[in-house]
Amino acid sequence: MNDSYNHPSVTQWSTRVQVDRWREGDGNALGRLADRFRPLVRYRIQQNRAFPQLADQVSVEDVEQEVWARILKSGVRAFERNDQRHGFVAWLGQLTDSTVIDLVRRMGREKRGGGKRPGVLDTLAAAQKLRRPGQASQASPTGNARAAEFEELARSVLSERELQAWTWVVMEEYTSTEAALGLDSTPSAVRSLLVRARAKLQEAMQERRSSNE
């Protein structure tokens, strides 16, 4: 199996570096972590079995911002009080799940108490500073066309979880541990998804090439 699935990208802004900087008081490090993990946190929220109870009241983006706002509000101590054997990624996954459950309970109480639609999340405004504009893609038109063709092929042959694992790890360079956060799974399970995805894609590409000959 390709060990690169386990290895983080060699980058100045790796997760471990940013967590260390956040713990040391770097105010920008949490924003960088939010940028990196935002897609994974949002996907995990969408897959949470309790989220449908919130879907008509708040958006996935609202809940995701609530997660980061809670981290911003509680600070490093909340992370350090918890068991760190599994690191920041596992803690973020637990916090995401507990945030969904907390909001379901709180909004249920508010609806029973006043019958009104709950207002803006209490800590949402505090997290707005974590929002950063996305960077424009620099890919060429030909590169974009090839990427679109490959994406179409992947969507046609991969299961949802295989596609998501492949997109995060292979295309977006998350580690299998980080991808496991979004999929609410384990790194080994993510690696198994990648093995199956690779086999399916290789077979599909061979069939496509044969049909074009």
In this prediction, residue 140 carries a pLDDT of 55
Binning pLDDT at 50, 70 and 90, where does residue 173 land? Answer: confident
CB contact at 8 A, 30 and 68: yes
pLDDT at position 112 over 90? no
In this prediction, residue 161 carries a pLDDT of 94
Residue extents of the structural domains in the chain: 9-129, 149-212
Binning pLDDT at 50, 70 and 90, where does residue 144 land? Answer: low
24-35: average pLDDT: 88
Please tell us whether the domain made up of 9-129 is placed in CATH 1.10.1740.10.
yes
Binning pLDDT at 50, 70 and 90, where does residue 146 land? Answer: low
pLDDT at position 117 over 50? no
Percent of the chain with pLDDT over 90: 33
Classified by CATH at the fold level, domain 149-212 comes out as Arc Repressor Mutant, subunit A (1.10.10)
